[in-house]
Amino acid sequence: MHIKYILKTAVKGLKSNKSRSGLTILGIVIGITAIMIVMSLGKGAQNLILGQIQSVGSRVIEIRPGREPKGISDILQMFSDSLKEKDLTALQKKENLPYAVTVEPLVFGGATVIFENESYGTSVYGISQGFGSMYGVGVDEGRFIESDDVRNRVDVVVIGLKIKEELFGFSEAIGEKIKIKNRNFKVVGTLAKKGQVSIVNFDDVVLIPWTTAQQYVFGIKHFQHILVEAKSEDLVDETVRDIKITLRNSHNITDPEKDDFSIGTQASAMEQVNTIMNVLTLFLAAGVRDREDAGNWFTQSSGGNQ
């Protein structure tokens, strides 16, 4: 009887003010739908970012200049010049990093590449010969950057598929010269279609020797990143430990709190992304709920004035 009474009262209440009841139900439906969409979008974005991180490989360790950011005030740390060639040399010594397969320097920036009357804005990466294998990137035509190119600061370039299409169309690119920062570079290779891997879109990128990039393109003497690939996933933590010891010795650092570099792994990056995305999704969902509550209040107020 009690349930029947409640149902009868509810139906009577709904019928007594159909307009307000309809708007209230509509508000609830819209609110729930909006929350579901926000949660779905948040999860989708999270999965997309995690997929890009995982595409690099769990053995790749990223060393960045500047201490680990602990707040907004540390944002400028990303522009630090603390990673130098002496650090690269120390990290490449087998006695310092016995569990490392390869150690690759990286410098990068934006530039316009020009061929005859065609020009295209893209990202330029200064790399060495092991960068391609670390990211699973190969050439479609020609060759990749080689050790002699790096050693001798040769003006050679390997271009992504998008760059080839924009500058050369269906014409042959190998052997042609393109201009970067008013300097001529010979195209020695074109990359096979790869797409996005981590932060790099290999279809829309220009690769040159890091020595050439430092001296002639960007005019710097430091690295934005140094990448280390461990022999196995199980040896990542030990390799991170060895990296810290090596860089502290290279920088004469005795107090870990004064580290002028930071280290990232796939595991730490995924943890950070999960934390950030979960918080953002909750905030967005909370915002939708607030809008729903405000809408319900407006509906009730409007209904009360009829």
Please list the rounded mean pLDDT of every run of 10 residues in the chain (306 residues). Answer: 63 59 57 59 51 60 84 65 96 97 95 95 96 90 97 97 94 96 96 84 96 96 95 93 97 93 73 54 55 50 50
**Residue 3 is assigned to a structural domain of this protein:** no
**Residue 2 is assigned to a structural domain of this protein:** no
At 196 the pLDDT is: 83
Q: What is the pTM of this model?
A: 0.70
At 71 the pLDDT is: 63
**Residue 28 is assigned to a structural domain of this protein:** yes
At 1 the pLDDT is: 52
At 152 the pLDDT is: 97
The answer on 200 and 290 residing in a single domain is no
The answer on 65 and 124 residing in a single domain is yes
**Residue 210 is assigned to a structural domain of this protein:** yes
At 136 the pLDDT is: 87
The answer on 219 and 120 residing in a single domain is yes
The answer on 174 and 104 residing in a single domain is yes
Task: State the total domains in the chain.
Answer: 2
At 100 the pLDDT is: 96
The answer on 294 and 257 residing in a single domain is no
The answer on 227 and 88 residing in a single domain is yes
At 38 the pLDDT is: 56
The answer on 64 and 139 residing in a single domain is yes
The answer on 110 and 189 residing in a single domain is yes
**Residue 79 is assigned to a structural domain of this protein:** yes
At 99 the pLDDT is: 96
The answer on 119 and 31 residing in a single domain is no
The answer on 63 and 47 residing in a single domain is no
**Residue 4 is assigned to a structural domain of this protein:** no
At 298 the pLDDT is: 47
At 33 the pLDDT is: 63
**Residue 280 is assigned to a structural domain of this protein:** yes
SS3 annotation, the chain: CHHHHHHHHHHHHHHHCHHHHHHHHHHHHHHHHHHHHHHHHHHHHHHHHHHHHHHHCCCEEEEEECCCCCCHHHHHHHHCCCCCHHHHHHHCCCCCCCCEEEEEEEEEEEEEEEECCEEEEEEEEEECCCHHHHHCCCEEEECCCCHHHHHCCCCEEEECHHHHHHHHCCCCCCCCEEEECCEEEEEEEEECCCCEECCEECCCEEEEEHHHHHHHHHCCCCCCEEEEEECCHHHHHHHHHHHHHHHHHHCCCCCHHHCCEEEECHHHHHHHHHHHHHHHHHHHHHHHHHHHHHHHHHHHHHHHCC
The answer on 212 and 275 residing in a single domain is no
Domain that holds residue 37: 13-54+269-304
The answer on 284 and 187 residing in a single domain is no
At 20 the pLDDT is: 55
**Residue 157 is assigned to a structural domain of this protein:** yes
At 193 the pLDDT is: 92
